[in-house]
Amino acid sequence: MENIIETVDLTKRYSKAVALDSVSIHVRQGEIYGLIGKNGAGKSTLFKTMMGLAPYSSGEIKLFGSKSNKEIEHARQRMGFMMGAHFFPYLSARENLEYFRKLKGIADKAEVDRVLKLVEMDKVKKKFKSFSLGMKQRVSIANALMGYPDIVVLDEPINGLDPQGIADFRRIVQKLNKENKMTFLISSHILGELELMATRFGFIHDGKLIEEIDRETIRNKTEEKVIVKTNDIEKATYVLEQKFPNIEYQVNGDKELVISKMVEKTDEIASLLVSKELKLFKLVAQEISIQEYYLEMITKGGTDHV
């Protein structure tokens, strides 16, 4: 798959502080990319530099494979962007979006109504200043979706949404991703919020992009499993299959057996193998969640885990 957003060693310094430290991010066409990092990690700074709203110190930004500043500017017109909710307080949602429609040069007047319907804000008449945080977020998301951009970049869009709002948001994103082939880049400081939505994750910590990883790969790494090292794998699998006909396992190399799930049967597996005179060099139950995986990664700095 083609990278449609790419940075190469992107670095941004604020006098002394380094907000982005050699970030090389790769967002591929058609994915829902979740950028995860805690407060101050550098998420907003990365998005702002990407969108041309803040200068950077060194490195490179490529959007749709752009090779010049002119091409980058052109590429940015194909991107919808949401960052905070900066709207006119005394205008309604519709009036605000009408203003941005004209500013963005979107000719189709029906766009405002279409995107307001998507976020279920089409019937709300009151002024922006009296909206709840969740309503403001919805208008902000709608604004980013106006004009069918190819890429939608959303900075903490879930912040302030209630559980129903989060579920609606997920549904909208997945539908647009599937039906309109829109690529999404979404940040959050809470991994769980994007866990059900993102197809790939990037983890950012202290300005460094620690890892980019597919959801499926995380799933495999974090799935509950029992890992067994023994002197006779063939005998071990035979014995285990006799006892647990539905067992699912994988053999890594010639000494390690990885049994899916069955963490609660770890003791039983151990005594069964020992009773059949197998030697147990290692037996561990792994029950790591995606959240734990992430926490472990940021504490280790992403260097020596895999």
Ligand X SMILES: Nc1ncnc2c1ncn2[C@@H]1O[C@H](COP(=O)(O)OP(=O)(O)OP(=O)(O)O)[C@@H](O)[C@H]1O
**Where on the chain is the footprint of Mg ion (CB under 5 A)?**
43-44
| DSSP strand pairing (32-36 vs 200-205) | parallel
From 33-41, 78-86, 135-143, 163-171, span contacting ligand X (CB under 6 A)? 33-41
From CA 206, how far away is CA 204, in angstroms rounded?
7
The secondary structure of residue 184, as a DSSP letter, is: E
Binding window for ligand X (CB under 6 A); candidates: 41-49, 176-184, 218-226, 248-256: 41-49
List the one residue from 31, 36, 43, 112 that touches ligand X (CB under 6 A): 43
- Smallest separation, CB 141 to Mg ion (Å): 16
> 39 is in the binding site of which of ligand X, Mg ion, none (Cβ under 5 to 8 A by kind)?
ligand X
- Contact (CB, 8 A) for 93 and 80: no
The reply on whether position 246 binds ligand X by CB under 6 A is no
Among 1, 2, 16, 17, binds ligand X (CB under 6 A): 17
Whole-angstrom distance, CA of residue 93 vs CA of residue 73: 28
Spatial separation of the C-alpha atoms in residues 58 and 55, rounded to whole Å = 9
Using the rule CB under 6 A, which residue among 189, 221, 235, 276 binds ligand X? 189
Entry field: residues in the chain = 306
Asked whether position 165 contacts ligand X by CB under 6 A, the answer is no
Which of 5, 33, 45, 141 contacts ligand X by CB under 6 A? 45
Task: With CA atoms as reference, report the closest residue to 57 among 5, 6, 4, 19.
Answer: 19
Residue 296 corresponds to which tokens in the numbers above?
């472990």
Q: Which is nearer to ligand X, 83 or 240 (CB)?
A: 83
Nearest distance in Å: CB 42, Mg ion:
8
How many residues sit close enough to ligand X to count as binding (CB under 6 A)?
12
CA distance 4 to 18: 26
Which among 120, 156, 113 is positioned nearest to 138, based on CA atoms? 120
Only one residue has tokens 């009036």, namely: 95
Shortest separation between residue 134's beta carbon and ligand X, angstroms: 18
- Closer Cβ to ligand X, 46 or 269, answer by number: 46
> Least distance in Å: CB of 73 to Mg ion?
24
**Under a CB-based contact definition with an 8 Å cutoff, are residues 132 and 166 in contact?**
no
At residue 33, what is the residue type? Y
Q: Which is nearer to ligand X, 41 or 210 (CB)?
A: 41
| SS3 (DSSP) at 142 | helix
CB of 55 vs Mg ion, minimal distance in Å: 17
**What residues line the site for ligand X (CB under 6 A)?**
14, 17, 19, 37, 39-45, 189
